[in-house]
Structure 1
Amino acid sequence: MPSPSTPTIQFHFLSEVPLRDRLRLKTFLPSLFKKEKKQLAELRYIFCSDDYLLEINKQYLKHNFYTDIITFDLSEGNQPINAEIYISVDRVRDNARSFGNTLKNELHRVIFHGALHLCGYKDKSQQDEKLMRKMEDQYLKLYFPG
Protein backbone atom coordinates (compact mmCIF):
# COMPACT_ATOMS: atom_id res chain seq x y z
CA MET A 1 0.00 0.00 0.00
CA PRO A 2 1.32 3.49 -0.81
CA SER A 3 2.50 5.65 2.04
CA PRO A 4 0.21 8.50 3.15
CA SER A 5 2.73 10.99 1.78
CA THR A 6 2.26 9.63 -1.74
CA PRO A 7 -1.42 8.81 -2.15
CA THR A 8 -2.61 6.90 -5.20
CA ILE A 9 -5.50 8.47 -7.08
CA GLN A 10 -7.02 6.64 -10.02
CA PHE A 11 -9.79 7.42 -12.48
CA HIS A 12 -11.73 4.57 -14.13
CA PHE A 13 -14.20 5.21 -16.91
CA LEU A 14 -17.09 2.80 -17.42
CA SER A 15 -18.92 5.75 -19.00
CA GLU A 16 -17.26 8.48 -21.00
CA VAL A 17 -16.96 11.93 -19.45
CA PRO A 18 -14.69 14.84 -20.43
CA LEU A 19 -12.37 14.98 -17.42
CA ARG A 20 -9.47 17.12 -18.56
CA ASP A 21 -6.25 17.89 -16.73
CA ARG A 22 -6.37 14.72 -14.61
CA LEU A 23 -2.80 15.21 -13.44
CA ARG A 24 -3.74 18.56 -11.87
CA LEU A 25 -6.72 16.92 -10.16
CA LYS A 26 -4.47 14.12 -8.84
CA THR A 27 -2.27 16.82 -7.31
CA PHE A 28 -5.17 18.91 -5.96
CA LEU A 29 -7.12 16.14 -4.22
CA PRO A 30 -4.35 15.24 -1.72
CA SER A 31 -4.15 18.96 -0.81
CA LEU A 32 -7.90 18.90 -0.02
CA PHE A 33 -7.38 15.99 2.39
CA LYS A 34 -4.34 17.72 3.90
CA LYS A 35 -6.35 20.94 4.48
CA GLU A 36 -9.04 18.81 6.16
CA LYS A 37 -6.34 17.15 8.31
CA LYS A 38 -6.99 13.67 6.90
CA GLN A 39 -4.44 11.17 5.64
CA LEU A 40 -5.12 9.74 2.20
CA ALA A 41 -3.63 6.46 0.99
CA GLU A 42 -5.72 5.46 -2.00
CA LEU A 43 -8.69 6.92 -3.84
CA ARG A 44 -10.43 5.46 -6.88
CA TYR A 45 -13.06 7.34 -8.85
CA ILE A 46 -15.27 5.17 -11.05
CA PHE A 47 -17.35 7.07 -13.62
CA CYS A 48 -20.38 5.01 -14.62
CA SER A 49 -23.98 5.11 -15.87
CA ASP A 50 -27.21 5.71 -13.94
CA ASP A 51 -28.14 2.04 -14.25
CA TYR A 52 -24.74 0.83 -13.00
CA LEU A 53 -24.91 3.09 -9.95
CA LEU A 54 -28.56 2.19 -9.31
CA GLU A 55 -27.54 -1.47 -9.02
CA ILE A 56 -24.81 -0.57 -6.52
CA ASN A 57 -27.32 1.58 -4.61
CA LYS A 58 -29.78 -1.33 -4.43
CA GLN A 59 -27.21 -4.00 -3.62
CA TYR A 60 -25.12 -2.23 -0.98
CA LEU A 61 -27.35 0.52 0.42
CA LYS A 62 -30.79 -1.03 -0.16
CA HIS A 63 -31.94 2.18 -1.91
CA ASN A 64 -34.01 1.95 -5.09
CA PHE A 65 -33.32 5.36 -6.61
CA TYR A 66 -30.84 7.12 -8.85
CA THR A 67 -28.06 9.15 -7.29
CA ASP A 68 -25.08 11.06 -8.61
CA ILE A 69 -22.49 9.63 -6.22
CA ILE A 70 -21.84 6.80 -3.79
CA THR A 71 -18.74 6.85 -1.63
CA PHE A 72 -17.29 3.73 -0.02
CA ASP A 73 -14.71 4.24 2.71
CA LEU A 74 -12.71 1.00 2.71
CA SER A 75 -10.28 2.17 5.41
CA GLU A 76 -9.69 0.05 8.47
CA GLY A 77 -9.45 1.56 11.93
CA ASN A 78 -7.21 4.61 12.11
CA GLN A 79 -5.47 3.79 8.83
CA PRO A 80 -5.15 6.46 6.11
CA ILE A 81 -8.20 6.76 3.85
CA ASN A 82 -8.67 4.09 1.20
CA ALA A 83 -11.88 4.60 -0.76
CA GLU A 84 -13.89 4.11 -3.93
CA ILE A 85 -16.18 6.82 -5.25
CA TYR A 86 -18.74 5.93 -7.91
CA ILE A 87 -20.11 8.82 -9.96
CA SER A 88 -23.03 8.58 -12.38
CA VAL A 89 -22.10 10.56 -15.48
CA ASP A 90 -25.81 10.57 -16.47
CA ARG A 91 -26.84 12.22 -13.17
CA VAL A 92 -24.01 14.75 -13.34
CA ARG A 93 -25.07 15.76 -16.86
CA ASP A 94 -28.75 16.05 -15.82
CA ASN A 95 -27.89 17.98 -12.65
CA ALA A 96 -25.66 20.39 -14.58
CA ARG A 97 -28.61 21.14 -16.89
CA SER A 98 -31.12 21.36 -14.01
CA PHE A 99 -28.94 23.70 -11.92
CA GLY A 100 -27.79 25.80 -14.89
CA ASN A 101 -24.23 24.67 -14.27
CA THR A 102 -21.52 23.63 -16.74
CA LEU A 103 -20.72 19.92 -16.94
CA LYS A 104 -17.12 20.71 -16.00
CA ASN A 105 -18.16 22.59 -12.85
CA GLU A 106 -20.78 20.03 -11.79
CA LEU A 107 -18.38 17.14 -12.37
CA HIS A 108 -15.74 18.73 -10.16
CA ARG A 109 -18.35 19.62 -7.52
CA VAL A 110 -19.31 15.94 -7.28
CA ILE A 111 -15.65 14.82 -7.26
CA PHE A 112 -14.98 17.17 -4.32
CA HIS A 113 -18.28 16.15 -2.67
CA GLY A 114 -17.10 12.54 -2.46
CA ALA A 115 -13.74 13.58 -1.04
CA LEU A 116 -15.48 15.78 1.54
CA HIS A 117 -17.65 12.84 2.65
CA LEU A 118 -14.44 10.94 3.33
CA CYS A 119 -13.25 13.90 5.42
CA GLY A 120 -16.33 13.60 7.63
CA TYR A 121 -18.80 16.02 6.05
CA LYS A 122 -22.42 14.86 5.89
CA ASP A 123 -25.41 16.00 3.85
CA LYS A 124 -28.47 14.34 5.40
CA SER A 125 -29.79 17.31 7.39
CA GLN A 126 -30.43 20.79 5.99
CA GLN A 127 -27.66 22.22 8.18
CA ASP A 128 -25.16 19.53 7.10
CA GLU A 129 -26.09 20.04 3.45
CA LYS A 130 -25.53 23.80 3.76
CA LEU A 131 -22.03 23.22 5.18
CA MET A 132 -21.28 20.62 2.47
CA ARG A 133 -22.26 23.13 -0.27
CA LYS A 134 -20.08 25.78 1.36
CA MET A 135 -17.10 23.42 1.40
CA GLU A 136 -17.72 22.32 -2.21
CA ASP A 137 -17.81 25.98 -3.25
CA GLN A 138 -14.61 26.68 -1.31
CA TYR A 139 -12.71 23.88 -3.08
CA LEU A 140 -14.18 24.77 -6.47
CA LYS A 141 -12.88 28.34 -6.00
CA LEU A 142 -9.46 27.01 -5.01
CA TYR A 143 -9.39 24.69 -8.02
CA PHE A 144 -10.83 27.21 -10.50
CA PRO A 145 -9.55 30.59 -9.24
CA GLY A 146 -10.83 33.77 -10.81
Structure 2
Amino acid sequence: MIDIFFEEIETLTELNPDFYESWLDQVANLEKKKLGDISLIFTSDEHLLTVNQQYLDHDYYTDIITFDYSEDDFVSGDLFISVDRVSENAVENNVSFLHELNRVVVHGVLHLCGYKDKSESEEQMMRAKEDQMLQLI
Protein backbone atom coordinates (compact mmCIF):
# COMPACT_ATOMS: atom_id res chain seq x y z
CA MET A 1 0.00 0.00 0.00
CA ILE A 2 1.25 3.47 -0.89
CA ASP A 3 0.53 6.40 1.40
CA ILE A 4 1.40 9.98 0.48
CA PHE A 5 2.14 12.65 3.06
CA PHE A 6 3.31 16.27 2.98
CA GLU A 7 5.43 17.83 5.72
CA GLU A 8 6.12 21.55 5.74
CA ILE A 9 5.09 22.01 2.09
CA GLU A 10 1.93 22.55 0.10
CA THR A 11 0.12 19.49 -1.21
CA LEU A 12 1.20 18.41 -4.70
CA THR A 13 -2.16 17.89 -6.35
CA GLU A 14 -0.69 16.18 -9.44
CA LEU A 15 0.32 13.10 -7.43
CA ASN A 16 -1.88 10.05 -7.89
CA PRO A 17 -1.55 7.34 -5.20
CA ASP A 18 -3.16 4.75 -7.52
CA PHE A 19 -0.48 5.41 -10.14
CA TYR A 20 2.30 4.92 -7.60
CA GLU A 21 0.64 1.76 -6.24
CA SER A 22 0.40 0.23 -9.71
CA TRP A 23 3.84 1.33 -10.93
CA LEU A 24 5.75 0.42 -7.77
CA ASP A 25 3.99 -2.95 -7.66
CA GLN A 26 5.42 -3.59 -11.15
CA VAL A 27 8.86 -2.48 -9.96
CA ALA A 28 8.71 -4.83 -6.97
CA ASN A 29 7.53 -7.73 -9.14
CA LEU A 30 10.38 -7.22 -11.61
CA GLU A 31 12.78 -7.42 -8.67
CA LYS A 32 11.05 -10.62 -7.49
CA LYS A 33 9.64 -8.82 -4.46
CA LYS A 34 6.17 -7.96 -3.20
CA LEU A 35 4.96 -4.44 -2.54
CA GLY A 36 4.46 -3.86 1.16
CA ASP A 37 3.67 -0.57 2.87
CA ILE A 38 5.51 2.43 1.47
CA SER A 39 5.06 6.00 2.67
CA LEU A 40 6.07 8.80 0.32
CA ILE A 41 6.73 11.83 2.50
CA PHE A 42 7.24 14.98 0.46
CA THR A 43 8.95 17.79 2.31
CA SER A 44 11.27 20.80 2.09
CA ASP A 45 15.06 20.97 1.91
CA GLU A 46 15.23 22.28 5.47
CA HIS A 47 13.05 19.56 6.93
CA LEU A 48 14.97 16.81 5.11
CA LEU A 49 18.26 18.33 6.28
CA THR A 50 16.98 18.05 9.86
CA VAL A 51 16.03 14.39 9.27
CA ASN A 52 19.46 13.78 7.72
CA GLN A 53 21.23 15.34 10.71
CA GLN A 54 19.03 13.71 13.36
CA TYR A 55 18.88 10.14 12.06
CA LEU A 56 21.94 9.72 9.83
CA ASP A 57 24.37 12.23 11.36
CA HIS A 58 24.85 13.79 7.89
CA ASP A 59 25.00 17.56 7.52
CA TYR A 60 24.06 18.07 3.88
CA TYR A 61 21.06 18.44 1.61
CA THR A 62 19.84 15.43 -0.31
CA ASP A 63 16.89 14.59 -2.54
CA ILE A 64 15.81 11.43 -0.69
CA ILE A 65 16.31 9.55 2.54
CA THR A 66 15.07 5.98 2.65
CA PHE A 67 14.14 4.18 5.86
CA ASP A 68 13.94 0.47 5.11
CA TYR A 69 11.35 -1.65 6.95
CA SER A 70 11.37 -4.49 4.41
CA GLU A 71 10.89 -8.01 5.69
CA ASP A 72 11.37 -11.21 3.72
CA ASP A 73 10.22 -10.47 0.16
CA PHE A 74 8.00 -7.51 1.12
CA VAL A 75 9.36 -4.09 0.14
CA SER A 76 8.37 -1.57 2.82
CA GLY A 77 9.69 1.73 4.07
CA ASP A 78 9.45 5.49 4.41
CA LEU A 79 10.78 7.64 1.59
CA PHE A 80 11.42 11.25 2.62
CA ILE A 81 11.75 13.35 -0.54
CA SER A 82 12.83 16.98 -0.80
CA VAL A 83 10.62 18.71 -3.34
CA ASP A 84 13.16 21.58 -3.40
CA ARG A 85 15.99 19.22 -4.46
CA VAL A 86 13.75 17.51 -7.02
CA SER A 87 12.89 20.89 -8.55
CA GLU A 88 16.55 21.92 -8.79
CA ASN A 89 17.59 18.52 -10.17
CA ALA A 90 14.86 18.72 -12.83
CA VAL A 91 16.15 22.09 -14.03
CA GLU A 92 19.76 20.93 -13.90
CA ASN A 93 18.98 17.73 -15.84
CA ASN A 94 16.56 19.45 -18.24
CA VAL A 95 13.65 17.13 -17.41
CA SER A 96 10.16 17.74 -16.09
CA PHE A 97 9.53 17.99 -12.36
CA LEU A 98 7.32 14.88 -12.48
CA HIS A 99 9.96 12.85 -14.34
CA GLU A 100 12.60 13.75 -11.76
CA LEU A 101 10.17 13.10 -8.91
CA ASN A 102 9.46 9.63 -10.30
CA ARG A 103 13.19 8.97 -10.68
CA VAL A 104 13.77 9.84 -7.03
CA VAL A 105 10.80 7.73 -5.88
CA VAL A 106 12.00 4.66 -7.78
CA HIS A 107 15.54 5.29 -6.51
CA GLY A 108 14.21 4.91 -2.97
CA VAL A 109 12.23 1.80 -3.85
CA LEU A 110 15.31 0.27 -5.45
CA HIS A 111 17.16 0.87 -2.17
CA LEU A 112 14.33 -1.05 -0.47
CA CYS A 113 14.93 -3.86 -3.00
CA GLY A 114 18.55 -4.05 -1.90
CA TYR A 115 20.39 -1.85 -4.39
CA LYS A 116 23.18 0.37 -3.10
CA ASP A 117 24.86 3.42 -4.65
CA LYS A 118 27.99 4.04 -2.61
CA SER A 119 30.57 2.87 -5.17
CA GLU A 120 30.83 3.97 -8.80
CA SER A 121 29.75 0.52 -10.06
CA GLU A 122 26.79 0.44 -7.66
CA GLU A 123 25.77 3.92 -8.77
CA GLN A 124 25.92 2.88 -12.44
CA MET A 125 23.74 -0.15 -11.70
CA MET A 126 21.29 2.03 -9.77
CA ARG A 127 21.03 4.53 -12.66
CA ALA A 128 20.45 1.69 -15.15
CA LYS A 129 17.72 0.24 -12.91
CA GLU A 130 16.11 3.68 -12.50
CA ASP A 131 16.03 4.10 -16.29
CA GLN A 132 14.57 0.61 -16.73
CA MET A 133 11.82 1.24 -14.19
CA LEU A 134 11.00 4.68 -15.59
CA GLN A 135 10.35 2.97 -18.94
CA LEU A 136 7.38 1.23 -17.31
CA ILE A 137 5.52 4.54 -17.04
Q: TM-score, normalised by structure 2?
A: 0.91
Task: Encode CA deviations 1:84-114: one digit per residue, 9 max, x unaligned.
Answer: 0000000000111111111111000001100
Match of 1:132 in 2: 126
Task: Encode CA deviations 1:60-79: one digit per residue, 9 max, x unaligned.
Answer: 10000000000001235x36
Contact map agreement 2:68 2:112 (CA 8 A) in 1: yes
Structure 2 unmatched ranges of 5 or more: none
Contact map agreement 2:2 2:20 (CA 8 A) in 1: no
2:36 aligned counterpart, secondary structure: strand
In structure 2, what is the Cα distance between the partners aligned to 1:79 and 1:141? 23
Match of 1:61 in 2: 56
Match of 2:26 among 25, 31, 35: 31
Q: 1:34–1:79: structure 2 CA closer, same or farther, 3 Å change rule?
A: closer
Match of 2:17 among 22, 29, 41: 22
**Number of residue pairs aligned between Structure 1 and Structure 2:** 135
Match of 2:81 in 1: 87
Deviation at 1:22, TM superposition (A): 3.1
Match of 1:45 in 2: 40
In structure 1, what is the Cα distance between the partners aligned to 2:95 and 2:50? 27
Judge which range, 60-69 or 17-26, deviates more: 17-26
Deviation at 1:18, TM superposition (A): 5.0
Deviation at 1:45, TM superposition (A): 0.5
Q: Which amino acid aligns with 2:23?
A: F
Contact map agreement 2:90 2:97 (CA 8 A) in 1: yes
Name the larger-Rg structure: 1
Match of 1:114 in 2: 108
The residue correspondences of 1:97-108 to structure 2 (distance < 5 A) are 97-108=91-102
2:50 aligned counterpart, secondary structure: helix
Structure 1 unmatched ranges of 5 or more: 1-7
In structure 1, what is the Cα distance between the partners aligned to 2:92 and 2:98? 14
Q: TM-score, normalised by structure 1?
A: 0.86
Identity of aligned residues (%): 45
Q: RMSD of the TM alignment (CA)?
A: 1.5
